[in-house]
Structure 1
Amino acid sequence: MTYDVRPEITVSGTAFAGWQAIRTTPIVTDNPSLRIECYPGVDVTGVLDAFDPGHEKLHVDTHDLRLPPNERADLLSPFLTDDRVFGTFAPPDTAPLEIADFLDDVLVSSVRDCINTHVRDGGSVLIAGPGAAYVATGTELDAAPLIYADMPRWEIQTRLRAGRGTWLAPEPFDDMLRAFKLGYFVEWRSADRCKMALFDDVDLFLDTTDPENPLATTGEDMRRALGAVVQRPFRTVPFFDPGVWGGQWMKREFDLPDGPDNYAWGFDCVPEENSLLLAFDGGTLEVPAINVVLRHPEDLLGKPVFQRFGAEFPIRFDFLDTIEGGNLSLQVHPDADYARDRFGLSYTQDESYYILAAEPDAHVYLGLTDGTSPQHFFDALHEAQEGGGDLDVARYVNRLPTARHDHFSIPSGTIHCAGRGCMVLEISATPYIFTFKLWDWGRLGLDGRPRPIHAEHGQNVLKGDRDRTWVDAEILEQSEILVRDGTYVEERTGLHASEFIETRRHWFDSEVQQETGDSVHVLNLVQGDGAIIESPTAAFKPFVVGFAETFIIPATVGAYTFRPVTPGQACGMINAAVRT
């Protein structure tokens, strides 16, 4: 089976494909005025022009109603800080920012008067952009249909790289890291809260991910579709990105495009940034995967997980490819207290490396060498950084050989990185940008700039007792066989007792019975051509996955089974869930 880079979810309902079909839906033709709420990143001018090509109506773009740049900067400052990478979700004595906070009250009041006058004089109005529904509140547009133009975060990042501005910073950034930080810490979260507040009232959902081929579906059909998603296994749409250390394995195994020199990352289950492809009758809409998390958190996550994490998907699966590539940056992650105090996070980025494939000399770096104190390491690190010399990493950090199917737990506070020659399935907690790079082997980023180093943060969180003795006792060869029944074996492979994710590996050549136990499961087929996931009660249609494909089993599914596509083939499946 070929790795599916565009997995679709078949749902009931109708899609309208193309601007002509969208403009001629009854929702549009029966109503001369429209409210078009847009997620940041949507081309608002393009949407207005598409709904009214002849400009016969009054167009209102909420970008024109924002506070002046200096006032927006004052609001953003407590959240963004001066760091290129890190901001905070919860600055002291500061409430979360909403879309409406960035609109100028005087301009909004004036536009509301203008809308009322125009409509009362017999005219029609199209108002579009982030905050459109808020601006229309209390005006003659209150009863106008509400259209929501949505966009996945990965598409937004693609547009930022192409030189597009953002809702809060209309001028293109010259630093992609700062652009991402603005979205991650403020813009996207405020837009998500706005979207969920409006979700039940939306009459038409609009997908302009491909601006030349827009699609839409009714609000009723979209709400029904998202409800159906959490009743079955599903995959998010993966995306892949090059990097300075990237390798060639994913390009070959997944048949990825030849454009980039390499692929470093593959994001196969990061619902905050991935999308879903909802295949309606008439077309397939691409929608943010975060919508199903925010809309149906308890059905998806399970009650105990939802009570602990709220409407956040806490497990992340992604790929790191260093085969024929280079070493990742030497790094460390903060513990939960540090993450909460410095960044406003409710949990931190514990993680693990599952080795899907390995070259003969593959290795990982993990833990300080015995006899090395954090002070010794950081003294050597500062000397190398300030003097422009090299750092003898293996003197201070354990260089461990690795092979296919090894699984390394990496609790927060442990120095680590994947070395050259590894194809890593990274199984971790979701706060994925909180990596403190310590040493980057003297490289520049793909943008030609030095990659950010956070040695001060690293020195604050690196745990000095995580040495080779600790690694041998706590990390290496920790797999525990839980069930052995003929050719079937179930093992607990991790993660470390201090981490909240439990991983089980199943070796099987026939049907295996599973139960979610009121917790979402995230799985990946780590060996074998393919597997079929089924419901013992036929509650969902058989779902087929191929090698290395990650998929989600919502908590509400309950009982499910998996078996090889090829009868009798020896397969391996890794399954991650939240410990409760």
Structure 2
Amino acid sequence: MYDKQPYVPVSSDAGDCHVGWDAIRENLRRLTSGKRCVVCVECYPGVSVREIKQELEAALDPQVVIDTESLLLSPDEIDKRVSPLLTDDPVFGTFNSVEVRDFFDPLKVSEAQKKLESSTAGIALVIGTGAVEIANEYYVLVYADLARWEIQRRQRAGEIGNLGANNTDESPAQKYKRAYFLDWRAADRIKQKLLPTIDFLFDTNDQATPKMITGDQMRAGLDQAARQPFRVVPFFDPGPWGGHWMEREFDLPKDVPNYAWCFDCVPEENSLLLGFGTVRVEIPAINLVFAHPTELLGSYIFGRFGAEFPIRFDFLDTIEGGNLSLQVHPLNDYVRKHFGLAYTQDESYYMLDAEPNATVYLGLKEDINPSAMLQDLQAAQEGGPDFDADRYVSKWPARKHDHFLIPAGTVHCSGAGSMVLEISATPYIFTLKLWDWGRLGLDGQPRPINIARGEENIQWDRKAAWIKENLVNRIEAVGQGEGWREERTGLHELEFIETRRHWFTGTVPHDTNATVNVLNLVEGEEAIVESLTGSFAPFVVHYAETFIVPAAVGGYQIRPHGPSVGKQCATLKAYVRPE
């Protein structure tokens, strides 16, 4: 029953939705007919600018066309400028304040703007990433958007490179790294400014069937989502350690070797579907964070983290798979100093399901020698004997509904046979791999290992006794009512996320307390989320579905629904603790 295409109902009819190039061309042609004007099409990096330009040229017959790609500095000059920010590390760059205008040649920009100013008749089309930096004034502003999961698909397929780079044939990992630290950050700075004013939005995720809605329709959809429970669109990815639990439970296609990850609530990466009658328009979920940070996050969270969604839920499937890489997450001071990041990836493993012999590696054994462990890790990385993780790392039995807490600096990984609901802070690429069990990635290449960085972050005093007392099943009863009980399951005091589990056969009262809530139905087939004031329509969720309740919702309630009526259900809720 897991819904792989959840959407936010915005309107019962399609209204001004235009599906396919024929409808889009006709609408823009009618809008601009007989006018002398500038049509500005701002494009997110990865959008097929060539295709859109071709279609709009046919529709509008512009007298002047300026493609921002022609205004970029040379790839060599751009590489020279950004290489210090990307660093030589295969995975990590440095967060920065680069803007799209920094990719442009100032002389070419000046010439293009003069060309625009001297245009005396007909339509001028300015198109590409950074188009609004060139067209200071425009009659129509279109934003061509694209979800990051689709950008990654195109990168892996060798269809696209990075902004201003001649790197289509570069490895997907390097293209992703460059997009993460440069392209997307720069483009998001433009997007944040434009969302309140764009006239039209292009959904370009499906190149065969693009869709266009008005800016007002998009803003109505975002406003709707910010005031009710909703789900983002999950996406699934294979991995060298992946399993088959999700494939079976979620009825996924069998066209990949396994499914290792599901990004079930990562608004920076997931997309959001808006429903207009039978039309579904897909936009990046981060647009909602940018457009309604206070309503979604709450003023406290917005003030503390800015327009970022600080909580991440995802799945890690190792059932019939292998161990995750042995790893550690960097400490807060380290990520600030080395990556320019405000906070690190504290996390936890909640066991959604587990095979009988499932285990979690967490913390170190009592009598280990740190120097010997590091030497053995390095020797294994250099082609020597495999690293003996069982000699150095504590291993714990893992059962369904166990909760393992993993503050930064703690050596850990999920073992085979587990279906993990990973609850963490959002900086999700900052994993320092120590050992990957001697295997290759799905691309046939070794996965990056970070022993030197790991050494600087491992907390060597987090040994078995401390782990057992502080990080394994720290479950405590905190409340109950008719047909429900509430437990605190973590996270550790070093982490800023609080988690609460509710077991229920009746109706459970909840309140956002002016901060965003993220929940997953970890037990039971189906539950329903209801407003206490009727401010949103009842919202049905199914087993293993993650859903977001915006801060603006306030009070709400959850109870069993459909096949779960009369049976026990459970949700796991996460929110940011007040400082």
User: Is the TM value for this pair above 0.5?
Assistant: yes
How far apart are 1:28 and its partner, in Å?
4.7
Partner of 2:138: 143
1:134-165 CA-to-partner distances (Å, cap 9, x unmatched) read 1112xxxx232111101111111111111112
Counterpart in 1 of 2:26? 24
Offset at residue 393 of structure 1 (A): 0.7
Q: Does structure 1 conserve the Cα–Cα contact (< 8 Å) formed by 2:196 and 2:291?
A: no
Partner of 1:49 in structure 2? 54
Instruction: Give the aligned partner of residue 285 of structure 2.
Output: 289
CA contact (8 A) 2:38 2:138 kept: no
The separation in 1 between residues aligned to 2:218 and 2:335, in whole angstroms, is: 36
Unaligned runs of 5+ in 1: 91-95
Partners of 1:574 and 1:173 in 2: CA distance? 43
8 Å Cα contact 1:352-1:495 kept in structure 2: yes
Partner residue of 2:65? Answer: 59
Kindly provide the amino acid, as one letter, of the partner of residue 520 in structure 2: N
More deviation, 269-278/99-108: 99-108
Structure 2 residue 86 is the aligned partner of structure 1 residue 84: no
Task: Report how far residue 171 of structure 1 moved.
Answer: 3.0
Change in CA separation of 1:262 and 1:107 when aligned onto 2, cut-off 3 Å: same
Structure 2 CA distance for partners of 1:282 and 1:29, relative to 1, 3 Å: farther
* Cα offsets for 1:104-161 (capped at 9, x unmatched): 11111122222333x31x2422111011111112xxxx23211110111111111111
- CA offset at residue 38 of structure 1? 0.4
Q: Distance in 2 between matches of 1:518 and 1:495?
A: 20
Which string of whole-angstrom CA distances, capped at 9 and with x for unpartnered residues, describes residues 443-497 of structure 1?
1111111100000000000001010011111112310011134542200001001
Which of 324, 332, 336 lines up with 1:336 in the alignment?
A: 332
What TM-score, normalized to structure 2?
A: 0.96
Matches of 1:29 and 1:536, distance apart in 2: 50
Rounded to whole Å, the distance in 1 between the matches of 2:174 and 2:167 is 13
- Closer/same/farther in 2, CA of residues 365 and 160 from structure 1, 3 Å limit: same
* Aligned residue number for residue 578 of structure 1: 576
The question of whether the paired residues in 2 share the 8 Å contact of 1:333 and 1:349 is answered with yes
User: Is 1:435 equivalent to 2:434 in the alignment?
Assistant: no
1:180 is matched with which residue? 176
Alpha carbons 2:75, 2:166 under 8 Å: kept = no
Residues 8, 221 of structure 2: 8 Å contact kept: no
Q: Does 1:268 align with 2:264?
A: yes
Equivalent residue letter for 1:573? T
Q: Give how far 1:574 is off.
A: 0.1
Q: Does the aligned pair in 2 maintain the 1:16–1:283 contact within 8 Å?
A: no
1:182-201 aligned at under 5 Å gives the runs 182-201=178-197
* 2:373–2:392 Cα contact (<8 Å) kept: yes
- Tell me, in whole angstroms, the C-alpha distance in 2 between the residues paired with 1:39 and 1:476: 43
Letter in 1 for 2:61: E
Partner of 1:124: 123
**Which letter does structure 2 place at the counterpart of 1:252?**
R
**Distance (whole Å) between structure 2 residues aligned to residue 87 and residue 427 of structure 1:** 24
Instruction: Give the alignment of 1:219-230 within 5 angstroms.
Output: 219-230=215-226
Letter in 1 for 2:117: N
Q: Aligned residue for 2:247?
A: 251
Distance in 2 between residues matched to 1:479 and 1:486, nearest whole Å: 21
Contact persistence 1:275–1:289 (CA under 8 A): yes
Tell me, yes or no, if structure 1 residue 165 matches structure 2 residue 143: no
Q: For 1:200-245, what per-residue CA distance to the aligned partner results, in whole angstroms no more than 9, with x for missing partners?
A: 2211111111011111111122112211211000000000000000
Name the SS of the counterpart of 1:354 in structure 2. strand
TM-score (norm 1): 0.96
In the TM superposition, residue 264 of structure 1 has moved relative to its aligned partner by 0.2
Measured against aligned partners, the alpha-carbon deviations of 1:233-269 in whole angstroms (never above 9, x if no partner) come to 0000000000000000000000011110100000000
**Once structures 1 and 2 are overlaid, which stretch shifts more, 122-131 or 144-153?**
122-131
Task: Measure the CA separation in 2 of the matches of 1:471 and 1:27.
Answer: 65
Q: Which amino acid aligns with 2:213?
A: T
Residue 11 to residue 228, structure 1, CA distance change in 2 (3 Å): same
Give the whole-Å Cα distance in 1 for the aligned partners of 2:299 and 2:59.
Answer: 51
Match of 1:100, SS state, is: helix
Amino acid at match of 1:109: S
Partner of 1:476: 472
- CA pair 14-511 structure 1, distance change in 2 beyond 3 A: farther
**Structure 2: distance between partners of 1:7 and 1:207:** 17
> Measured at CA, do residues 15 and 366 of structure 1 come closer, stay the same or move farther in structure 2, by a change above 3 Å?
same
Distance 1:383 1:503 in 2: 39
CA distance, structure 2, for counterparts of residue 457 and residue 357 of structure 1: 32
Which consecutive segments of 4 or more residues in structure 1 shift more than 6 A?
A: none
**Match of residue 411, structure 1, among 407, 410, 415:** 407
Cα distance between partner residues in 2 of 1:318 and 1:218: 32
What secondary structure is seen at the aligned counterpart in 2 of 1:200? coil
Measure the CA separation in 2 of the matches of 1:376 and 1:171.
Answer: 41
Asked whether the equivalents of residues 437 and 455 of structure 1 are also in contact (C-alpha less than 8 Å), the reply is yes
Q: Give the aligned partner of residue 538 of structure 2.
A: 542
The answer as to 2:10 corresponding to 1:15 is no
Cα RMSD for the two superposed structures: 1.4
Q: Note the 1:368-379 alignment, pairs <5 A.
A: 368-379=364-375
Report which stretch shifted further, 388-397 or 328-337: 388-397
Give the Cα separation in 2 of the matches to 1:29 and 1:354.
Answer: 58
Contact 2:203–2:211 under 8 Å retained in 1: yes
Distance 1:538 1:417 in 2: 43
Matched with 2:2 is: 3
Contact 1:168 1:187 in 2 (8 A): no
Percent of matched pairs sharing the same residue: 52
3-state SS of 1:339 partner:
helix
Residues of 2 paired with 1:374 and 1:310: CA distance?
Answer: 38
Who is 1:107 aligned against? 108
Distance of 2:195 and 2:234 partners within structure 1: 25
The residue type paired with residue 136 of structure 1 is A
**1:291-347 CA-partner distances (Å, limit 9, x unpaired):** 000111111111111111111000000000000000000000011111111111101
SS of corresponding position for 2:4 = coil
Letter matched to residue 569 of structure 1: K
275-284 or 231-240: which moved more? 275-284
Distance, in Å, in 2 between the alignment partners of 1:46 and 1:426 is: 39
1:14·1:282 contact (CA, 8 Å) conserved in 2? no
Residues 281 and 359 (structure 1 numbering): CA distance in 2 closer, same or farther, change over 3 Å? Answer: same
The separation in 2 between residues aligned to 1:577 and 1:72, in whole angstroms, is: 41
Structure 2 counterpart of 1:93 = none
SS of the residue corresponding to residue 537 of structure 1 reads coil
1:483–1:54 Cα change, 3 Å: closer
